[in-house]
Amino acid sequence: MKKKPATESSTTEHSLDQRALFLSNSGKYKEAIELYKKLLRDTDNSDWRQQFAHCYLQRALAFAAKGMFKEALVLWENYSQRAQAPYAHYDHYLSWLIQTQNPVATQSALAQLSARQLDQQYPALAAWLGLLIITEHPEFQQALPQDSDFIAHLKLAQSALQAYQENNPEGMDEALKHLPYRSAFRDFRTLLKAVAALPATPDQLPAALSKIPTHSAYAKAASLLLASTQKGTALAQAMTACTHAQRRLIGELSGLSKKQLELIEQLSKQKTPLSDKIKFNLAIQYQSLCGTELAQRFCFGLLARYPAGQRDLNKNFGAVDDFEQNRLKALTQENNNNDAEYYWRQCIRALPQDGTDNALKTALILRHMASRQELSEKIDTLAESLEYDPEDLDCYLQVLRYYSEQGGSAQNYKQWLDKALVQFPQNIEVLTLAIAAATRSKAHKKANQYAAKLLTLDPLNSFAKQALFSSHLAHARKLFKTKKYPLVEAEIQQAEALQPGKNTALQAQLLRGFLNFATQDKQQGLNLITDALNKLDADPLSAHFQIALEAQLTGLPVTTLLTELPPVKGHLLSPPELTRFVRLLTQYNQEHGGLESLHKALEKVKAPLKKSISQQHYDENLLLALCQALDTLKHFELLRHCAKYGVSTWQKPIWTYYRIYSETNGNPHQCSFKQSLSLKVNLNDARQEKDHKTVMLIGNYLDRYHQAHAPVGMDFLDRLFGVNDENEEDEAENPFDALFGHLPDEIFYKLDRQVNVLTKKISPERLIQDLTKITGSKPAILMSIMKNPDIFSALLILKAAEDLGINIEVGLEDVINAFNIGKNTGSGPF
């Protein structure tokens, strides 16, 4: 046999070499290994041997990534036989050995580690070994190089842990303090400190544990510790995702009872979403954990989807009375407010009407209903609750707050404030509201009485002192006009005797200056006035406004006083100055409320104020505060100027409202249809932006607009000739809605199903006979049934309710009235 030429053999080896290298670079290590075996069988090539070993190593890493550590170890042994020390990824090899639980091989491999490898080359392995030695494998410590930094740091960590177990925080801190920043036990230090601080500062635990990176050997321990601080559903969900051993650890850290751990174990076994039956049975089995009432409520709510549980429900919780049954139904329907309210009303009807306990229960039910209602409906329900329990201060305050914010509700506010004063004559909050209301209505004598009463209860109450002070000054201004100057002096002295604050005392000085101007030396009076203004840090605009207003209130010459002040023309208000000016407007409006005087005073500063608004680029909130103040003063000219600037700058619903509101002078009669459409668009925008204040403002204005523009008498001809009959019929309330609209969906569906049963199983003749038992011998009803099938359907619903034993609060008379049975409707001339 002839030998192959050497050149042909060399060519074959080269092609195999190229093919093997290509497969290796492509990640096809198994195929590359087979080719390298062929190559090395004929020729010992160091490059091929190195690539051969590399392929084994890469296959080992791939198997380990899949959790197949035994297979990875076999491949790594093949790699080590073909490679030379130091071996690549030796730290990975050690971790695989440990995870396959081969103690002899593990100890042998650990013994081959050098101090350099442990301290510098394999930080992740060192951290993991440290955790294992502290927790599961203390025997590893002796196999490691004893001269390494790792062993020195391990001893510090062990000392710190022992000190913690002995409740020696100083010893623990001392040991941890000596651990360097780059130590393998750095994350152990963070974890132990967090554990030690947990009882005192549990809220700081997440921030402390966030320092441990997610790739750290201690990350899992940190997550378990963090899970142990959670409560309720969050804790249960976190624990069901853990192993059995981890759940026991978290349970121990969280202080869970044996019963609680049993429930979590049961939940962790469920791999699919819990069925209603399982939920029902678990609630009964573990009712001691959540309380009998909550378990009963939960099971009752499941009956709609799991009716087979009725017997177990009665067996475990007993049969319930009407009140309790409706209460449980109401609680299960909390997400459906209409249905819940129906059942709560049924609860109230089920209560005997005698006894204070039942009155209180009724009030509490109504207040619970109110907590889930829209604002206007809520206030009506709260007011109803006070009929049963008039001693709830918070209800009064909520009602008063509502009417104080509603335009045109002054009379309602006064009535409720009077009721609150009768019920709580010594309450500080109620007296405070009474003082404010009396001040607004200029009933200064009443305000004084309420303030004096409040000061007997709270001698340091600054609001009451301010109210008394303002009342004295207001009375002094009245006396000015009658020129009873000695009495003016007496009122000023009484105001000063209250020892008000600095700014308030300067108000008295200002008034004393007016008194001197009127009775003594005019120059001395002017000096007192200007001195007070200087101490008040009044800018020219605020000074002119205040002096103009005070001069009107005291009956003194406005022009004479204003000429003594620095000129206001050309002055632009800075933001702090505008803030003070808004405060001044609000204060004078609350204390005096004379719109005519306020408007005249504003005329003196209108021009520079407009200029300031246009040129100073104020913050939006500051300009809104000015708008609100001008709105209460009904100064629509200045409000228009503000709104015009606001609309051009911010394009928000509130500015559109103020623009249209001021353009119509606050009068919806002047509002055009186009403007109303714009308001409706902005109302929707405000709702989407959850701008509740703007929603209320626009909503109230539109309500008044619709009242102002309601058609009156314009449909007379249509009615005369019957043109609008069909529309009226459409717009009339549907008798079915009138009769059954109050029923919850759940009840109506039950009735509907029963009606279907009746119509399918019982003949029409039998149905007529049964309905005759309900209607009695009333031929008008039977005639109406023949003319209007809807009446037949309504009577069927009554029959269904009777068969099911459901009280729907609708009777035969209600049906007769809803369908006008027996009444002459007169549809034609005959």
Handedness of CA 615, 616, 618, 622 (dihedral sign): negative
Q: Please, what is the angle between helix 356-370 and helix 337-350, to 10°? A: 170
Spatial separation of the C-alpha atoms in residues 418 and 425, rounded to whole Å: 10
Spatial separation of the C-alpha atoms in residues 177 and 198, rounded to whole Å: 19
Across residues 708-731, what is the average pLDDT? 46
In the chain, % helix, strand, coil (3-state, to 5) comes to 75, 0, 25
Across residues 82-91, what is the average pLDDT? 85
Spatial separation of the C-alpha atoms in residues 172 and 387, rounded to whole Å: 64
Alpha helices of 762-807 — where are they, by DSSP H? 764-775, 779-787, 789-804
* CA 784 to mean position of chain CA atoms: 54
Is the model's pLDDT at 699 over the cut of 50?
yes
Single out the residue of 259, 187, 257 nearest to residue 225, CA to CA: 187
Do 132 and 140 touch, CB atoms closer than 8 A? yes
Tens-digit pLDDT profile for residues 749-771? 677 777 777 766 666 566 666 66
pTM (2 decimals)? Answer: 0.49
Using a CB cutoff of 8 Å and minimum separation of 24, what contacts does 777-786 make? 780/821, 780/822, 781/816, 781/821, 781/822, 784/819, 784/821, 784/822
**What letter represents residue 816's amino acid?**
I
Tens-digit pLDDT profile for residues 126-159? 999 999 999 889 999 999 999 999 999 999 999 9
Across residues 735-757, what is the average pLDDT? 72
Handedness of CA 554, 560, 565, 571 (dihedral sign): positive
Tens-digit pLDDT profile for residues 667-685? 999 988 888 888 988 998 9
Single out the residue of 498, 476, 496 nearest to residue 488, CA to CA: 476
Residue 745: the pLDDT is: 61
Single out the residue of 787, 771, 775, 780 nearest to residue 822, CA to CA: 780
Tens-digit pLDDT profile for residues 354-398? 666 788 999 999 999 998 888 888 999 999 999 999 999 999 999
**What letter represents residue 22's amino acid?**
F
Across residues 452-472, what is the average pLDDT? 86
Handedness of CA 586, 588, 593, 599 (dihedral sign): negative
Contacts of 204 (CB under 8 A, 6+ apart): 197
For 57, the token pair is: 């190593």
Do 432 and 463 touch, CB atoms closer than 8 A? yes
Tens-digit pLDDT profile for residues 521-579? 788 888 888 888 887 777 889 889 988 888 888 888 888 888 878 888 889 999 999 99
Tens-digit pLDDT profile for residues 626-675? 999 999 899 999 999 999 999 999 989 999 999 999 999 999 999 888 88
Is the model's pLDDT at 725 over the cut of 50?
no
* Band (430; pLDDT cuts 50, 70, 90): very high
For 59, the token pair is: 């296959």
Compute how many other C-beta atoms are within 10 angstroms of the C-beta atom of residue 405.
Answer: 14
Class at the top of the CATH hierarchy for domain 1-84: mainly alpha
For 636, the token pair is: 């629509």
Q: Which CATH number fits domain 351-403+410-424: 3.40.50, 2.120.10, 1.25.40, 1.10.1200?
A: 1.25.40
* Residue position matching structure tokens 């101007």: 517
Residues in the chain: 830
Residue 261: the pLDDT is: 86
Across residues 218-230, what is the average pLDDT? 84
Spatial separation of the C-alpha atoms in residues 130 and 218, rounded to whole Å: 10
**What letter represents residue 37's amino acid?**
K
Do 76 and 94 touch, CB atoms closer than 8 A? no
Single out the residue of 346, 342, 343, 394 nearest to residue 367, CA to CA: 394
* Band (786; pLDDT cuts 50, 70, 90): low
Backbone angles phi, psi at 800, to 5 degrees: -60, -40
Domain range annotation of the chain = 1-84, 351-403+410-424, 659-710, 736-818
Least confident stretch, 383-387, 554-558, 609-613, 706-710? 706-710
Residue 140: the pLDDT is: 92
Cis preceding-peptide flag for 86 (omega within 30 of 0): yes
* Band (39; pLDDT cuts 50, 70, 90): confident
Measured between alpha carbons, how far is residue 253 from residues 195, 219, 250, 387 in Å?
A: 10, 17, 5, 51
Instruction: Kindly state the helix (H) or strand (E) to which residue 731 belongs, with its residue range.
Output: helix 725-731
Across residues 47-55, what is the average pLDDT? 86
Across residues 422-449, what is the average pLDDT? 86
* Band (483; pLDDT cuts 50, 70, 90): confident
Is the model's pLDDT at 59 over the cut of 80?
yes
Across residues 243-271, what is the average pLDDT? 83
